[in-house]
Structure 1
Amino acid sequence: MDKILVAHSPDADDIFMYYAIKFGWVTLQDTEFDNIALDIETLNQATLRGEYDICAISFALYPFVKKDFALLKTAVSFGEGYGPKIVKLKDTKLKKNFKVALSGKYTTNALLFKIKYPDARITYMNFLEIEQAVLDGVVDAGVLIHESILTYDDRLEVEAELWDIWQELAGKELPLPLGGMCLRRSIPLNKAIEYENTLIKAVKVANDNKLLLSKMLLERDLIRVDHDTLQTYLDLYANDNSIELSPLQYQALDKLYSLGFEHGFYDEIVKSQNYLIPSEYKELRNS
């Protein structure tokens, strides 16, 4: 029996996309899946250290780990007219060098923020602490991610939407790449293909059974939000576009990596489709 550990974030879309496996709706013969939930920047740092075989990551991290990890085609989250929000206290004006809280050095929102606001003073903290830090005046502004974009305090107002910043930087309307998954390259290729196909199936089954799976997650207190907020959030980040990367999503990833290279964050331009698991190998091997 092969054992494989899948590391994902505790936010609603990651849990939703994985739990068809956890509940036994999707299985792989002779394979036992287990999971661990950690915040996304912890997962980014763990992937840099090579700790997990399959791990959720911020898309902005991927160029730093591309030699050791393949980019998976499934369990992806993109913004389509929405995304993380830069918030501040109402009726305040930010200076050029305002102090801001971000959820992690390697997050996609951090990359785009640094390009847009090169003079801002950045501090990093757990994403669950950012809203309170702004309310308490510890920072002038903060970038809210995950479910926080739907539930923030009414004493706050939006300074800017990461979606708008992304559109400005990208130069055309492309979905905003936020998070995906990667798989360690040392895993034998035939196994890697099976693991990816199982995850693709799990995301599809979850999406096809959204209301039932949501009910089960809420009953087990696995989700931080209520039913209505969960459905809104899943419609944003765990939907038909999460099952398998599309040509438009590849374009968006390539634009993200091109921007990162142009602004000195990456040492080379990365073309996302060059770093996928070659799933055609299995067909060729059996032909």
Structure 2
Amino acid sequence: MGAGRATTSNLPGPLSLAISPCPNDTFAFHALAHGLVPGAPEVSVTFADIDVLNTRAADGRDDLVKVSYAALPWLLTGYQLLTAGGALGRGCGPLVLTAGRSDLRGARVAIPGTRTTAYLLFRLWAADEGVTNVDVLPFEKIMPAVRDGAYDAGLVIHESRFTYPSYGLTALVDLGDWWEGQTSLPIPLGAILARRGLDGPVLSAAVRASVAAAFADPAASADYVLAHAQEMTPDVVDAHIQLYVNEFSLDLGDEGFAAVEALLSRAADADLVPVLPRPLR
């Protein structure tokens, strides 16, 4: 990987890149991971679930890492936010699923991680619901656990939006719809961070070029995406990419920054996260 390619002078490779195996990440980072972005540093890729990625970032293990926006207040001392490669959007929020319950009073809820954006939105939404009993599960195990009665409800993300009816589950609330109704802003889900001391603008440009390459030639990344898609069907993979890779993946822009700032300021006001240790930009 990266043979015959010039490396940006102040970014000696290889840099460690940790992302999820989900189609939005493998689609967006295919070109960078395979040395197809001229002038970009070589990267060595590790795949992990989002809760694991948040922990890796807290430990400072990677040069570039995908994390939940909800985790930023704990991470910005050692990392800087890149303006490309993340996941924000509309109509793509987490869902609270049940096997028929109409409320969560006294419910036992499975969640994908305590520092995920999904859980932060859930806590903002459920402030008056009296939910205190939650357990962290790998996100692919949440729907089977709710279906089988091990949990009363599950907080799900990613492709679960498309597959939950096959488990006999119903959506109690779409937290993306709730958020958009509250703020009229897109929902900030996943961010790309770079270790402080690296050239953030240069890395943002490299990631942006990788996303642009994916848009320009979707077929180029198809085998790579499917190889890591955790047994998703091709139609679910395509729907996943279309939902989570969009104009905000190319550049956060003013609206994207406003969405992140709104989420984290509301959460800080509710004492759910610390106040950001430094500005986002």
Structure 1 equivalent of residue 45 of structure 2: 35
1:105 aligns with 2:114: yes
Please identify, of 77-86 and 46-55, the stretch whose mean Cα deviation from structure 2 is larger: 77-86
Please identify, of 227-236 and 129-138, the stretch whose mean Cα deviation from structure 2 is larger: 227-236
1:151 aligns with 2:157: no
Q: Secondary structure at the match of 1:28?
A: coil
Structure 1 equivalent of residue 103 of structure 2: 94
CA-CA distance at 1:125 after TM superposition: 0.9
Contact 2:77–2:277 under 8 Å retained in 1: no
Q: Secondary structure at the match of 2:92?
A: coil
1:14 aligns with 2:18: no
Aligned pair partner of 1:194 in 195, 202, 209? 202
Partners in 2 of 1:47 and 1:145 — Cα distance?
Answer: 20
Q: Percent identity?
A: 26
Aligned pair partner of 2:34 in 20, 23, 28? 23
CA-CA distance at 1:195 after TM superposition: 2.5
Gaps of at least 5 residues in structure 2 are: 1-11
- Equivalent runs, 1:56-135 vs 2, <5 Å: 56-90=66-100, 92-118=101-127, 119-120=130-131, 121-135=133-147
Contact 1:9–1:40 under 8 Å retained in 2: yes
Aligned residues: 265
Partners in 2 of 1:19 and 1:254 — Cα distance?
Answer: 29
Gaps of at least 5 residues in structure 1 are: 277-287
1:249 aligns with 2:256: yes
Contact 2:20–2:47 under 8 Å retained in 1: yes
- Equivalent runs, 1:154-193 vs 2, <5 Å: 154-168=167-181, 171-187=182-198, 189=199, 192-193=200-201
Alpha-carbon distance change, 99 to 21 in structure 1, aligned in 2, over 3 angstroms = same
Aligned pair partner of 2:221 in 213, 222, 241? 213
Partners in 2 of 1:265 and 1:13 — Cα distance?
Answer: 28
Q: Which amino acid aligns with 1:198?
A: A
Q: TM-score, normalised by structure 1?
A: 0.86
Alpha-carbon distance change, 211 to 172 in structure 1, aligned in 2, over 3 angstroms = same
CA-CA distance at 1:269 after TM superposition: 5.2
Q: Which amino acid aligns with 1:203?
A: V
Q: Secondary structure at the match of 1:56?
A: strand
Structure 1 equivalent of residue 62 of structure 2: 52
Partners in 2 of 1:21 and 1:267 — Cα distance?
Answer: 33
Q: CA RMSD in A?
A: 1.9
**TM-superposition CA deviations, 1:201-255 (whole Å, max 9, x none):** 111111221244225533xx22232222222111100123311112111111110
Q: Which amino acid aligns with 1:255?
A: A
CA-CA distance at 1:275 after TM superposition: 3.0
Alpha-carbon distance change, 117 to 199 in structure 1, aligned in 2, over 3 angstroms = same
Contact 1:94–1:140 under 8 Å retained in 2: no
Q: Which amino acid aligns with 2:58?
A: L
Contact 2:93–2:176 under 8 Å retained in 1: yes
Q: Secondary structure at the match of 2:16?
A: strand
Q: TM-score, normalised by structure 2?
A: 0.88
Q: Secondary structure at the match of 1:96?
A: coil
Alpha-carbon distance change, 50 to 208 in structure 1, aligned in 2, over 3 angstroms = same
**TM-superposition CA deviations, 1:171-206 (whole Å, max 9, x none):** 33110000011111133x4xx433222111111111
